[in-house]
Amino acid sequence: MKRINTPLTKREIERLNVGEEVLLSGVIYTARDQVHKRLAEAIHKNKKTAIDLKGRIIYYCGPTPKPKGKIIGSCGPTTSLRMDEFTPVLLKKGILAMIGKGRRSKAIIQAIKKYKAIYFLTYAGCGALLSKYIQKATKVAYKNLGPEAIYKLEVRDFPLIVGIDTKGRSIYD
């Protein structure tokens, strides 16, 4: 199976096709509903975002608290559709890839094509299994949001399926 590493380049993701399975190693950042709302607000007000978004991979995930002796708790993907409202402005700010579960709106498919970004799926409802691919987890921003804080995750061979490729082809079509 194909292995990819961060930082991902545009050229690299352009070579990935819808439906293809890949293993990702490197750094990704969690962000879900409340963080998306806040990042979008900051961008609209021309303020600095809590993390630099350029070239980043965003993972739609709010993990369970870290049990003693573990790196992270359960950490599967949440429903991507809820982020659609905020995704175009994040893409404009340079995010390269998103990881989540389920469908995206037509507008997002178009935006992904326009910005030559990529949308990955990962095993839905398998948070315990996915925790095994995380090597380090640090809360880096919006810590007051609890599970919705931004976590910086270092992953190794994190399993992904290309859900929407840079050409705007969706696995659900």
Establish whether 36 is a catalytic residue.
yes
Compare residues 55 and 102 and give the one whose CB is closer to another protein.
102
What are the residues binding another protein (CB under 8 A)?
34, 61-67, 70, 73-76, 78-79, 81, 101-103, 121, 123-129, 131-132, 144-148, 161, 171-172
Q: Are strands 21-30 and 150-164 parallel, antiparallel or unpaired?
A: antiparallel
> Of these residues, 8, 35, 36, 57, which one is catalytic?
36
Compare residues 53 and 61 and give the one whose CB is closer to another protein.
61
Contact call for residues 58 and 91 (beta carbons, < 8 A): no
Spatial CB neighbours of 76, under 8 Å, sequence gap ≥ 6: 61, 101, 122, 123, 124, 125, 126, 127, 130
Least distance between another protein and beta carbon 93 (Å): 24
Residues recognised as catalytic: 36
